[in-house]
Chains A and B, each alone.
Chain A
C-alpha cells in the first residue's frame, strides 16, 4: 500500500491547476466573459483530459479513475466553467460498450433528479430528462434497457434557461427528438458494466465536491484574513476560526474517501468499486453542503449577494451532489452492500 500520488499524477494535478488558475473565473462577473470561457475550453480540449476514459486497443481506459479524479478535483477548485464530467462519463459508457468514440461533443442524459441514467425507449421521445454539463453539447448519451442488457442511445439537445450550477449549464432533449441507437452501439451493457460506470460517476462527483470545498475554504480564509471588524481581522475570532477549521476537516475526510473511490474504479470488482464510490459520495455530499454554507456565512451579508463567489461553489456542489444520488441515496447503497435493506438500492 502506498496511496501517495505518483510523480506523474502530481504533474497532472499541477498542470490542471495551472490551466484553471490562469483561465477559470476569479470573479462572478467573469462567468459572462465568453472569450475567456472559449480559451479555457480550448485549453481543456488540447490537454486531452476529456479523453482519459476512452479506450485503448485493449478496451482499457487511457488513464485510471485516479487521473480522471485528479482533473475533476482541480477543475472544480477553480470553478472551471467548461465541460469535463459529462463528456468523461459519456466516453466511459462508450468504452464499456466497446462502441467507437463520439464524433461530436457529447454528454450524458439523466432523469429529472439526476439520480441515474434517463430511462428511454428507442424511437420514443424523452420527456423529463436532463443532460448535465452541457455547455456546447450537441447530443447526450443514455442506455435503452433490454432483455440482453442495455444498448447505447443518443438524443439531440437544446439549451434550457434554468441554471442552478452557474459553471455547468444543463440542456434538455429537443422537443421532437427521439432516442436513437447509434450506428455502432457496441455490445450490450451488463449490470456489472453499469455498476462500474456508476462507480466512476460517484468517484468523479466526489472529487468534484472535494475541489469545490477546497476552493470555498480558500476563498473564505482569504476573506476572513482581510475583512476587519472591532479593529481586528474577523479570522482572529475563535467563532470564525472554528467554523473554518470544521470546514477544512470535513474537506480532508472527504478527500480520503474520494481518493479511495477513484482508485477502486479500476482496481476493484464493479460491485465493490460501487460501494467505495457510495461511501465517498455519501460522505462528500453531506460535507460539501455544510462547507459551502460556511463559506457563505463567513462572508456575511456579502456572502448572500450574487457578486460573491461563495454561492457559485455552493451551486456547483448542488449539481455534483445530485448526479447519481446524494448523501441519502448513497447511504442506502452502503447499507445494501452490508446486507441491510432493499437490493434495488444498488442500481
Chain B
C-alpha cells in the first residue's frame, strides 16, 4: 500500500513538470468561458504530441500503455501548474474499445486519441432522459447506409464535433433495451441541424440540441452489432461517471488553489463562514484525488466497471459543488466588480448532479446494485 511515486513514476512526474513550464496554454477556467473549448483542440494535440495523453490506452490507438495510476500524476501536475485539465474522452474510448470490432476501432480510435477528430455523444432525447432506453431516434437501413432521424439533446460540444456517437432504434419489434444500435455519424452533412443551448452561467458551446433529419451513416460504421447499443451505452455512461476517467479531480484542485491564493493575499476580507466554505472545498477536492488513487489502483490488474462508478459520481458531485460554494463565498457573485468568473464556476457546478446520470439515479443504482436493497 503506497501513495508515493515509484522510480518510473517520479521520472515521469519531473518530465511532465518541466514540459508544462513551457507549454501551459493559459486557457480560461473550463466552465466559464467559450474560449476554453475553442483552445482545447490545440491543447489536446499538444498533450498528445508530447506523450502526455491516453496514458493507459493501447499503443495501437496512440496510447502510452502505462499503468492506470499515471493519470493521477497527470491530473496532479496539470492542476499544480494551473494548466487546463486533460480532455475528457475516456468514456468514448473505453466504450469503443470494449464493443466495436477491430476495423471500427482502427478507423476511429486513433483520431479520437490524437485529437484530430472531435466527437460528441448523442444519447439523451427530449423524452428520453433518465429513462434512456425509451429513446425514439430511428436508424433505417438503406443499401450500405443507415438513415438517421430524430432529436438529441445535451450533446456537449456538438457544433465543434466531426462525429457523433448516436444511439438509435434499429428494431421496433423487440423490448426497448434490445432494439438499440450505436453509430459513428459524421456531423458535416446536410441532414443535421445544430441548436446550441445556453447554460445557466451563460456559456453556449457546451450544451446543444441536434436534429437528425435523414442524416446518413455507412452501415460499416455501426459500433458493435445491431441491437448492441444498450450494453455499449452502459459502458460509456459508467465510465462517464468516473472522475478517474474524466480528470476532474485536477480541475477542482486547481480552482481551490486559486481561491486559497485570494484568501492568503487578503485574509481580512473574508469572514469565518466564507473561510469555512474554502476549508471544505480543500477537503473535498483532496478526498476526490485520493479516491481516484484508490479506484485507479484497483484497476492495475485490468479494467472493471461496475456499480461503484455511481459512488464515484456522487463523490465527484459532492466535491464539485463544494468547490462551487467556495467559489461563490470567496470569489463573490460578481455584481459589477468586473469579474464574474467565480459566479460562473458556481452556477456551472449545479450541472454536475445531473450530467452523466442524475444523482437520484446514481442513488438508485447504489441502493440496488451495491447495498442489495430490494427493487
Contact = CB atoms under 8 A, between A and B. Distances in A.
Interface in B335-375: 360, 362-364, 366-368, 370-375
Contacts of A253: 287, 291, 315, 318
A3 interface: yes
Contact of B370 (A248, A267, A335): A248
B1 A242 contact: no
Interface stretch (B100-108, B182-190, B227-235, B273-281): B273-281
B220 interface: no
**Nearest 7 pairs between A and B by C-beta?**
A241-B367, A245-B366, A235-B373, A245-B363, A256-B291, A236-B374, A331-B279
Interface centre among A233, A249, A257, A283 (most CB of B within 10 A): A249
Contacts of B279: 282, 331-332, 334-335
Given A246-B363, A253-B291, A340-B275, A241 B368 contact: yes
Contacts of B315: 249, 252-253
Interface SS, A side: helix
Given A241-B363, A257-B287, A2 B1 contact: yes
A279 B280 contact: no
Contacts of A255: 294
Interface centre among B69, B283, B311, B314 (most CB of A within 10 A): B283
Contact of B69 (A2, A252, A267): A2
A283 B315 CA distance: 12
A66 B374 contact: no
A340 B374 contact: no
A238 interface: yes
Interface of A: 1-6, 9, 66, 217, 221, 224-225, 232-233, 235-236, 238, 240-242, 244-246, 248-249, 252-253, 255-257, 259-260, 263-264, 267, 279, 282-283, 331-332, 334-335, 338-341
A339 B257 CA distance: 11
Contact of A252 (B72, B263, B284, B291): B291
B363 A260 contact: no
Contacts of A245: 314, 362-364, 366-367, 371
B1 A263 contact: yes
B314 A249 contact: yes
Nearest to B300: A2
Contacts of A232: 374
Nearest to B286: A279
Contacts of A238: 363-364, 367
Nearest to B267: A340
Interface residues of B, number: 48
B294 A3 contact: yes
Interface of B: 1-6, 9, 69, 72-73, 260, 263-264, 267, 275-276, 278-280, 282-284, 286-287, 290-291, 293-294, 297-298, 300, 311, 314-315, 318, 360, 362-364, 366-368, 370-375
Contacts of A256: 287, 290-291, 293-294
Contact of B293 (A1, A335, A338): A1
A279 B286 CA distance: 8
Nearest to B279: A331
Given A244-B373, A340-B263, 19 more contacts: A2-B300, A221-B371, A225-B372, A225-B374, A235-B367, A246-B363, A252-B291, A253-B318, A260-B293, A263-B1, A267-B4, A279-B283, A283-B287, A334-B279, A335-B279, A339-B260, A340-B260, A340-B278, A341-B275
B371 to A, nearest CB: 5
Nearest to A287: B287
Given A257-B287, A267-B3, A283-B283, A249 B311 contact: yes
Given A1-B69, A335-B282, A221 B290 contact: no
Contacts of B275: 335, 340-341
Given A236-B374, A253-B287, A339-B264, A2 B2 contact: yes
Given A66-B1, A256-B291, A242 B367 contact: yes
A5 B264 contact: no
A238 B4 CA distance: 41
Interface centre among B2, B3, B267, B315 (most CB of A within 10 A): B3
Contacts of B366: 245, 248-249
Nearest to B5: A1
A276 to B, nearest CB: 9
A252 B311 contact: yes
